[in-house]
Each structure stands twice: as structure tokens, then as C-alpha cells.
């Protein structure tokens, strides 16, 4: 080797080392959360609804096919923002209703707090639904530099208003803390994506960006501009057709947003996560076929989520992951990507899954508590000698095994409706049933057709014991009565904080 050659080699080593350092700059994070988006509503799961942008992005990234969320809205968002199970935040039961004085507790930093602490500029656009009865619970006081969106759930896509409780109605749209007058001609999917695009186009910070976009789409009410349903004239069922249009609008919005990131030279440095918050609502156009059950149940149709990750930072692009992942995992995973530290949090229930997603490593997660809900009406009889009160609504995953106890809720398999008629006459009243223990091997039977609880009584006991161990760590469930002081009538017409 000549001296010159040696010199070149040394230069190469130094510069590639330097490149690694440059590469280690934390990426922008774009986290897109869809609302009530079903398992069978995305193109790559074989849906009749076309999602070209989601298909392309997920195809270039890593599709998560063993990924779990919670069966309803507030619970998933609370676990995303805290990295902690509902049994550890007191939000085990239901959602936070607009008039309820309840919120994600302030005893542990949120994901946004941590991203900000790690040097990010932090932005929330769209739905909050983690409590607002005091100003200290609004997104701007939970780690977000900016917020543009709404605090409750299931509002109108145009008027941005919703009624809750006993005829309490109000508008629900804010720019940071400030209530703003909704434009009734603006469809929320376009409005929120426009806000994200504005933030991206005007981005002049040297900090990496954490963008949390929680779409209103594709939750009820079923509303969409007709240009999105035109191409779905062949879908006979009215709800499904409207829903397909809502999905098309969301998919287009995501295309627009990625284009803006590209145009501003930010896309190559962005890691994008896409996730639903829970299974599809079959009463409002959603579908989870071939999974069992739907939104609000502990069956796979309620909590086996659609999700993927996109980004140059992924080492194995264009792959499908079958490793067990859960919504609580985003907290340590994203703080890890940000180069932050997990100091100062209450014990996390999530795992850093970056190697799992990026490199196809084995998931560190063996156990996944779907939930234990102490307030849900108990079902059936307690089994003699059971370590866990099996009348209680609960579900737990351990490796490939899943146990469900109590009343799991909506329990049938619902195909896509093919006629004008909606298939809602489903005989699915689970409230009177006595059976209250099911056991499945989810890897072999992802659609929960074969209950194995009689075949493997020892596994049932083992799983009940694990449930009991987790239950011992639970904090009391917080579910206060509706507070009439929340009435927007007393608050200038908007839903907002009513206590100081």
C-alpha cells in the first residue's frame, strides 16, 4: 500500500465515522393516529377500500402484524402518552366523557414532555381526549409546544360541535389554549392535514420535530365530501360507502403531508409511525374481518391494530413484523430514537422496540396486559380456586396465549356488508352469558374460533395467576360522575376547563 493509499483509507475511516455521528442526529417523528380504523379497512389487508398512500408507505417500511392497541379511544391514547397500562393510571374503565372531571394523571411525564426534554419541538394536531376539566390537563400543559384540535370525541366533522351528557352541547376547537370559531365548510381531515402542512412549511427550527397528528377520521359521525365517495358507487351499503370515502380522504391527507415533508427536505430524516387507536366500529362502517368482535371488546377485532413504521432509519425496509408489539411500546421506543433518557417516569409497561422494528430482532415483550376493568359488570360465577376473579372483564396475552375473562363484549365475526341493509341485527347480547373464561393460541388461531380453556386447564390457571399478579399492582379506578359545571352553556359555548 502506498502512503497515499493509506492516507485515503484513514480519511475514509474518519469520514465514515463522522457520517455516523451526523446520522445519529435524532430524526423528526411523525406519529399519525387514526380513530376507529378497522383491521379490514386498509388496502394491504385485502380491503375493498383503496389506500394507495398507506399501502405504499407501509410497503416501503415495516408492517406490524402482531401489534396491539386498546379497544377504545382514551385508553389507547393514555397508554401512548404515558407508556403505562390503564391499571397503572386509574383509567381502566371506559373513555373520559366530556362532562367528567377526569384526566391522564400528571404524576408521570407524557411522551411529549419527554420528546421536548430530548430537544424536540412538539406539536399536537387533532384529537386529544385525555381530559381537560382543568387547564393543567390541556395539551399545551402536557408537553406540546403547539396544539390545534379538539378535546373531546365524536364531534361533527364540519361544525366541530358535539353534545354529551344531558343535552349539553358545545363547540370544540382550539388553537393552543384559545377556543376558535369553527368554519362549518371545512372538513376536519383537510383542516388538520392543512395545519400539519403549515407547520412543516414554516418550520425554521434547528430542533427535530415531534408531530403528533391524531385524526378525527374515521370515527363516526359518517360524514365526507361527496368527491371522496364518488369512486365507491359500487359499494351498496350506505355506511360502508361513506366510511370508504372517509378513509380515502385520510389516505389523501397522508399523501399531502408526506409531500410537504419532502418539499421541505425533511422527509429523509423522518420516522413515521401510523397506528389506529382501536378496532373498527361495525355500527359506523368499519370492519375487522376475519377477526372476531369489534371496537370496545377484548376480542382481536377490538384490539389487534393496524400499524406500520416508515423511514430511512429502518435497517430492514419492505418487511413485515410478526413480533409482539403494543401501543405502550412507542413511549420508550420514540424517546430512545430521540436519544432521550427515561428518567423521572413512573415504571413503564412498554419496551423499546426499535431493534425489533428496524432490524427484525426478537421482541422483548412476552406479556401484554390487554386490561383489567374493575367497574365493568361481572359475568358468570367465580371458578373455585381461581387465583383471579374470573367474573371480571380482563384479558392477557403471554407469548402466543391469550386468556379472556368476564364479559368480553361484541363477540361475533362480522363480514363486510354487501347490501344496502346494514348487518346490525347481530344477535350479540353478551350481557347474560355465564361463560367467563376463554383461552386461545393466537399464533395458530388469530381469529379466535377455537376456545382451548377446557383442553389446557393448567395454562388457564397459569394465565389467571399472571392476571392476579398484575392486578396486585393496579391503582384504584377513577371514573367520576358527570359534572354539570362542565356545560358549555356556562363556558361561552365551548367545551373547555371548568375547574381551577
Residue whose CB is less far from ligand NAG, 128 or 228: 228
For residue 109, state whether it binds ligand NAG (rule: CB under 6 A): yes
For residue 190, state whether it binds ligand NAG (rule: CB under 6 A): yes
Q: Which of 140, 146, 256, 430 binds ligand NAG (CB under 6 A)?
A: 256
What is the nearest approach in angstroms of ligand NAG to the Cβ of residue 213? 12
Q: Which of 48, 135, 252, 400 binds ligand NAG (CB under 6 A)?
A: 252
Q: Tell me which DSSP letter residue 292 carries.
A: B
CA angle 116, 122, 128 (to 5 degrees): 115
And the C-alpha cell for 246?
A: 372517509
CA dist list (Å): 382 to 228, 456, 476: 51, 18, 22
Binding residues for ligand NAG, how many (CB under 6 A)?
A: 14
Residue whose CB is less far from ligand NAG, 130 or 217: 217
73 counts as catalytic: yes
For residue 189, state whether it binds ligand NAG (rule: CB under 6 A): yes
Residue whose CB is less far from ligand NAG, 82 or 193: 193
Yes or no: say if 115 and 338 are a contact pair by the CB < 8 Å rule.
yes
Residue whose CB is less far from ligand NAG, 161 or 189: 189
What is the nearest approach in angstroms of ligand NAG to the Cβ of residue 100? 27
For residue 202, state whether it binds ligand NAG (rule: CB under 6 A): yes
Q: Which of 53, 76, 193, 276 binds ligand NAG (CB under 6 A)?
A: 193
Q: Which of 96, 249, 271, 372 binds ligand NAG (CB under 6 A)?
A: 249
Stretch that binds ligand NAG, among 31-39, 250-258, 280-288, 302-310 (CB under 6 A): 250-258
**Residue of closest CB approach to ligand NAG:** 344
Residues 115-144 that bind ligand NAG (CB under 6 A): 117
| Catalytic residue of the set 88, 123, 129, 304 | 129
For residue 105, state whether it binds ligand NAG (rule: CB under 6 A): no
| Catalytic residue of the set 73, 219, 304, 477 | 73
Residue whose CB is less far from ligand NAG, 318 or 344: 344
For residue 343, state whether it binds ligand NAG (rule: CB under 6 A): yes
And the C-alpha cell for 174?
A: 382550539
Which residue, among 2, 62, 19, has the nearest Cα to 315 in the 3D structure? 62
Could you tell me which residues are beta bridge partners of residue 296? none
Residue whose CB is less far from ligand NAG, 201 or 469: 201
Strands (DSSP E) found in 105-219: 121-127, 146-150, 161-164, 168-171, 174-175, 178-179, 209-214
Q: How far apart are CA 15 and CA 24, in angstroms?
A: 14
129 counts as catalytic: yes
Residue whose CB is less far from ligand NAG, 258 or 287: 258
CA dist list (Å): 165 to 169, 283, 324, 488, 489: 9, 21, 38, 11, 13
What is the nearest approach in angstroms of ligand NAG to the Cβ of residue 274? 15
Residue whose CB is less far from ligand NAG, 261 or 498: 261
For residue 425, state whether it binds ligand NAG (rule: CB under 6 A): no
Q: Which of 339, 344, 457, 480 binds ligand NAG (CB under 6 A)?
A: 344
Contacts of 279 (CB under 8 A, 6+ apart): 36, 38, 39, 71, 286, 288, 291, 293, 294, 295, 297, 300, 301, 302, 303, 304, 305
Longest dimension (CA), the chain: 86
What is the nearest approach in angstroms of ligand NAG to the Cβ of residue 325? 25
Q: How far apart are CA 216 and CA 162, in angstroms?
A: 13
Contacts of 272 (CB under 8 A, 6+ apart): 29, 30, 31, 32, 57, 61, 258, 309, 310, 311
What is the nearest approach in angstroms of ligand NAG to the Cβ of residue 13? 33
Q: Which of 185, 204, 425, 500 binds ligand NAG (CB under 6 A)?
A: 204
What is the nearest approach in angstroms of ligand NAG to the Cβ of residue 257? 8
Q: What is the CA radius of gyration of the chain?
A: 23
Residue whose CB is less far from ligand NAG, 253 or 416: 253
What is the nearest approach in angstroms of ligand NAG to the Cβ of residue 228? 8
Residue with cell 377526569: 102
DSSP β-ladder status, 393-398 and 367-373: antiparallel
What is the nearest approach in angstroms of ligand NAG to the Cβ of residue 23? 24
Strands (DSSP E) found in 38-120: 62-64, 67-68
And the C-alpha cell for 54?
A: 398507506
Residues in the chain: 500
Separation of first and last alpha carbons in the chain: 75
Which residue, among 111, 117, 145, has the nearest Cα to 130 in the 3D structure? 111
What is the nearest approach in angstroms of ligand NAG to the Cβ of residue 359? 28
Stretch that binds ligand NAG, among 28-36, 268-276, 337-345, 458-466 (CB under 6 A): 337-345
Catalytically active residues are 73, 129
Binding stretches for ligand NAG (CB under 6 A): 109, 117, 189-190, 193, 202, 204, 249, 252-253, 256, 341, 343-344
Amino acid at each position: 500500500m502506498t502512503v497515499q493509499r493509506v492516507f485515503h483509507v484513514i480519511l475514509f475511516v474518519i469520514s465514515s465515522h463522522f457520517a455516523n455521528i451526523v446520522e445519529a442526529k435524532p430524526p423528526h417523528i411523525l406519529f399519525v393516529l387514526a380513530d376507529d380504523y378497522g383491521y379490514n379497512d386498509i388496502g394491504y389487508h385485502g380491503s375493498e377500500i383503496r389506500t394507495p398512500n398507506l399501502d405504499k408507505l407501509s410497503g416501503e417500511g415495516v408492517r406490524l402484524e402482531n401489534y396491539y392497541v386498546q379497544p377504545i379511544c382514551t385508553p389507547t391514547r393514555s397508554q401512548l402518552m404515558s407508556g403505562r397500562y390503564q391499571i397503572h393510571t386509574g383509567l381502566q374503565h371506559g373513555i373520559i366523557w366530556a362532562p367528567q372531571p377526569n384526566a391522564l394523571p400528571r404524576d408521570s411525564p407524557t411522551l411529549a414532555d419527554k420528546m421536548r426534554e430530548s430537544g424536540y419541538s412538539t406539536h399536537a394536531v387533532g384529537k386529544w381526549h385525555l381530559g381537560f376539566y382543568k387547564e393543567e390537563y390541556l395539551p399545551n400543559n402536557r408537553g406540546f409546544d403547539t396544539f390545534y384540535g379538539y378535546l373531546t370525541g365524536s364531534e361533527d366533522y364540519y361544525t366541530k360541535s358535539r353534545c354529551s351528557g344531558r343535552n349539553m352541547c358545545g363547540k370544540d376547537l382550539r388553537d393552543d389554549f384559545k377556543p376558535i370559531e369553527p368554519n362549518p365548510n371545512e372538513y376536519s381531515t383537510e383542516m388538520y392535514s392543512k395545519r400539519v402542512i403549515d407547520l412543516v412549511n414554516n418550520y425554521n427550527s434547528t430542533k427535530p420535530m415531534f408531530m403528533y397528528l391524531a385524526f378525527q377520521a374515521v370515527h363516526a359521525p359518517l360524514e365526507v365530501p361527496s368527491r371522496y365517495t364518488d369512486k365507491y358507487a359500487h359499494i351498496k351499503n350506505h355506511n360502508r360507502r361513506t366510511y370508504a370515502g372517509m378513509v380515502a380522504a385520510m389516505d389523501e391527507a397522508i399523501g399531502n403531508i408526506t409531500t410537504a415533508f419532502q418539499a421541505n427536505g425533511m422527509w429523509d430524516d423522518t420516522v413515521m409511525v401510523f397506528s389506529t387507536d382501536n378496532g373498527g366500529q361495525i355500527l359506523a362502517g368499519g370492519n375487522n374481518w376475519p377477526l372476531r368482535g369489534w371496537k370496545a371488546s377484548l376480542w382481536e377485532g377490538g384490539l389487534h391494530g393496524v400499524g406500520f413504521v416508515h423511514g430511512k432509519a429502518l435497517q430492514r425496509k419492505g418487511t413485515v413484523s410478526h413480533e409482539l408489539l403494543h401501543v405502550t411500546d412507542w413511549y420508550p421506543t420514540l424517546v430512545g430514537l430521540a436519544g432521550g433518557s427515561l428518567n423521572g417516569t413512573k415504571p413503564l409497561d412498554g419496551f423499546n422496540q426499535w431493534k425489533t422494528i428496524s432490524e427484525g430482532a426478537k421482541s422483548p415483550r412476552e406479556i401484554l396486559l390487554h386490561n383489567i376493568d374493575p367497574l365493568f359488570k361481572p359475568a358468570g360465577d367465580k371458578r373455585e380456586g381461581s387465583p383471579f376473579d374470573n367474573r371480571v372483564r380482563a384479558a392477557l396475552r403471554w407469548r402466543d396465549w391469550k386468556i379472556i375473562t368476564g364479559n368480553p363484549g361484541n363477540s361475533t365475526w362480522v363480514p363486510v356488508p354487501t347490501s344496502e341493509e346494514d348487518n346490525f341485527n347481530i344477535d350479540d347480547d353478551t350481557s347474560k352469558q355465564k361463560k367467563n373464561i376463554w383461552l386461545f393460541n393466537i399464533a395458530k388461531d388469530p381469529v379466535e374460533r377455537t376456545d382451548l380453556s377446557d383442553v389446557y386447564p393448567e395454562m388457564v390457571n397459569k394465565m389467571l395467576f399472571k392476571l392476579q399478579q398484575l392486578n396486585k399492582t393496579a391503582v384504584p379506578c377513577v371514573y367520576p360522575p358527570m359534572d354539570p359545571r362542565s356545560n358549555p352553556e356556562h363556558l361561552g359555548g365551548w367545551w373547555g376547563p371548568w375547574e381551577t
